[in-house]
Amino acid sequence: MRQARGGTMNVVILGCGRLGAYLARRLQEEGHRVTVIDKDSGAFNRLGPGFDGKKVVGTGIDEDVLRRAGIEQADAFVAVTNWDNTNVMAAQVAKEIFHVGRVICRIYDHLREEVYRGLGLETLCPTLLDGDQIQQMLAA
Amino acid sequence: MATFVIIVGGGKVGTHLAAVLLEAGFRIRVIEEHRSELARLQRDLPAEVVTIGDGTDPLVLEAAGIRQAHVVAAVTGLDEVNLVITSLARFEFGVPRVIARVANPKNAWMFTPEMGVDVALNQADMMAHLIAEEMSLGDMVTLLNLRKGQYSLVAEKVVPGSVVAGKALRDIDLPDACRIVAIIRQGELVVPHGDTVLQPVDEVLALVRAAQAAKLAAVLGANAEVP
């Protein structure tokens, strides 16, 4: 069982934007093995000098790119590019083809998020999360 | 009432499809978001059928009338976009017939009913097979078996550079139980005589005793020695 609770996980993160880079650093600090994919190699600068995980340049909806990123050994796959459609498709590939145990997918559009949650993807929608949070802050 | 088709993607494929469907009397709407394509769309299609916007946005799809659509065709050049459209069309809007274009043949496996796709059209794959078919010279095809397979009507294309290309029929050493009955040259029938000269890519139709078909194939398919 690769995915021992509290043990070390192999995590592949698609999209090295602010969220992807932050998550990569945090997971590495917790002792996990992290690989980051981005189509723009310049995006890896966000990881900072302390990051020693693998960096793969390429698009995340390509099976070969995902293989190079070690998705076959991954315990978790996180799709957090800025493009909902890319995240959805990459998550489907990770789940259906590579049978990654945990697949998490960011979708900004809350209508689309609802649909794909219904289709069995583990999704999160920053628009809804932020909206709820702000509403609560205003109510407090 | 005419069948209502929503086409997402107003590139060359989408525009051509729209024109064909309009001509055939369908009711259509084309959704396109890129300004660069809009000029051509507006020139080639009536203004009222074009919706400007992102076809993966459920609100844009609703504005285009997807709840009344009988068919959705997702024909953008991006597979991730086409697949989001198909799954929204099927699972969010219940469109009865969903058709998608596969832009990159590597992604074809994703175009399944689970993604809302009824029919996936893999352009590159179709082209590749058609081209391969056109190139399949030297393969003998059996058109008809006679007398329980004792005799066959076969067809074979003359390979450029083969021994028989450029030879008159009377000079070709055919098996004895074999008769060349027709030659199709550039789509036209040529009735063969002894002095008919075979040309590359001629389609040769022959009646042959089944036992000698392999020998005939060897004669027609033999490559000339490279000097």
pLDDT digits (tens, 9 = 90+) for B129-160: 777 666 655 577 788 888 877 888 988 888 88
Q: pTM for this one? A: 0.70
Whether the predicted pLDDT of A3 surpasses 50: no
Task: Name the A residues in 61-100 with CB < 8 Å from any B CB.
Answer: 61-63, 83-86, 88-89, 92-93, 96-97
Would the CB atoms of B59 and A88 count as touching at under 8 Å? no
C-alpha–C-alpha distance, residues A47 and A50, integer Å = 8
pLDDT digits (tens, 9 = 90+) for A78-121: 999 999 999 998 998 898 889 999 999 999 999 889 888 888 88
Closest-CA distance of chain B to residue A33, Å: 28
Q: CB of A116 within 8 Å of any CB in chain B?
A: yes
Map residue B28 onto helix, strand or coil. Answer: strand
Would the CB atoms of B84 and A61 count as touching at under 8 Å? no
Closest-CA distance of chain B to residue A26, Å: 29
Chain B residues within 8 Å of chain A (Cβ atoms) = 56-59, 78-81, 83-84, 87-88, 91-92, 106-107, 109-110, 114-115
Share of residues in chain B with pLDDT > 70 (%):
94
Q: What is the pLDDT of residue A6?
A: 64
Q: What residue in B sits closest to A59 (Cα-Cα)?
A: B80
Write the CB contacts of B28 (distance below 8 Å, at least 6 apart in sequence).
Answer: B4, B5, B6, B7, B18, B21, B22, B49
Q: What residues form DSSP beta bridges with B18?
A: none
Q: CB of A121 within 8 Å of any CB in chain B?
A: no
Q: What is the pLDDT of residue A56?
A: 96
C-alpha–C-alpha distance, residues B102 and B125, integer Å = 9
What would the mean pLDDT of B159-179 be, rounded to a whole number? 87
Q: What is the largest CA-CA distance in chain B?
A: 73
pLDDT tier, B162 (very low <50, low <70, confident <90, very high otherwise): confident
First to last CA, chain B: 68
Q: What is the pLDDT of residue B138?
A: 55
Q: What is the pLDDT of residue B134?
A: 63
